[in-house]
Amino acid sequence: MSIEILSVRQVKAARAMLGWSAHDLARESGISYPTIARLEAGDGDLGGRQSTIDAIRTALEAAGIEFTNGGQPGVRLRKG
- Please give the CATH superfamily to which domain 8-72 belongs: lambda repressor-like DNA-binding domains (1.10.260.40)
pTM: 0.89
> Cβ(74)–Cβ(25) under 8 Å?
no
1 falls in which pLDDT band (50, 70, 90)? Answer: very low
Residue-wise pLDDT tens digits, 9-68: 999 999 999 999 999 999 999 999 999 999 999 898 998 899 999 999 999 999 999 988
Q: How far apart are CA 65 and CA 77, in angstroms?
A: 5
- How far are the Cα atoms of 36, 44, 68, 74 from residue 71, in angstroms, in the given order? 26, 15, 9, 10
- The region, left, alpha or beta by phi > 0 then psi within -120 to 50, assigned to residue 41 is alpha
Q: How far apart are CA 1 and CA 38, in angstroms?
A: 22
Return the domain boundaries, the chain: 8-72
